[in-house]
């Protein structure tokens, strides 16, 4: 079976990592293909997230440079071996957070995921989760609840498979995601 490329999108605290781990295990058993779980930013993570003085355009270009390396070194090689790839954050995160850059992203010609899942959660709930797990010290988390609200709204305007996570436990969310993936691969 051909490898499947799935991206998980959502604001910080929406459950992307938890779901990516569960999906990876399930998808490997379901398809018989090795499954890779990866995330963005990839190699420039600390550099990008710790520098609060970049302009919006510099942020965009750094994220795209990071994605180009990620696609070249991880995503495409794995897909060429018919492995599945589950990626936390991809093009839609860039669009939602930077709130511009469609033309530049399109010009990069990055591979298109087979399914793009948006974990839609109440920003107040997500912000509470983020504060519980760390000190909100990267530049996006430090901007707080107002940024999370703006980014959540931006995500809702994009063409993504939307999973409403409010008032659901992680297993319910997982089952909804699996149903969407099954629709795509069956």
Closest CA to 119 of 150, 88, 81, 165: 165
- What pLDDT digit, counting tens, does each position of 59-83 carry? 899 999 999 999 999 999 999 999 9
Give pLDDT, residue 135.
59
Give pLDDT, residue 141.
64
- Domains (ranges, CATH) in the chain? 5-185 (3.40.50.300)
Which residues have CB under 8 Å from 8's CB, separation 6+?
16, 19, 20, 23, 86, 87, 88, 89, 117, 119
Q: Where are the alpha helices (DSSP H) in the chain?
A: 16-31, 45-50, 56-70, 76-80, 91-98, 102-108, 123-133, 139-142, 144-156, 170-185
How far is residue 95's CA from residue 79's CA, in Å, rounded to a whole number? 24
- What pLDDT digit, counting tens, does each position of 1-35 carry? 799 999 999 999 999 999 999 999 999 999 999 99
Q: What's the pTM?
A: 0.93
List the Cα angle 113/56/132 in 5-degree steps: 70
């Amino acid at each position: 079976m051909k490898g499947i490329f799935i991206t998980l999108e959502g604001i910080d605290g929406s459950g992307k990592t938890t779901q990516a781990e569960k999906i990876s295990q399930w998808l490997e058993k379901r398809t018989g293909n090795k499954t890779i779980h990866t995330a963005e930013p990839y190699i420039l993570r600390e550099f990008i997230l710790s520098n609060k003085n970049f302009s919006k355009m510099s942020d965009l270009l750094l994220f795209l440079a990071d994605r180009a390396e990620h696609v070249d070194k991880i995503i495409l090689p794995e897909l060429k071996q018919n492995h599945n790839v589950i990626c936390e954050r991809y093009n839609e995160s860039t669009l939602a957070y930077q709130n511009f850059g469609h033309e530049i992203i399109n010009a990069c010609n990055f591979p298109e995921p087979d399914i793009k899942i948006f974990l839609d959660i109440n920003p107040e709930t997500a912000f509470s989760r983020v504060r519980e797990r760390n000190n909100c010290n990267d530049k996006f988390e430090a901007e707080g609840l107002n940024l999370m609200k703006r980014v959540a709204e931006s995500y809702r305007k994009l063409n993504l498979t939307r999973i409403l996570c409010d008032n659901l436990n992680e297993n319910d969310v997982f089952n909804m995601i699996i149903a969407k993936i099954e629709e795509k691969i069956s």
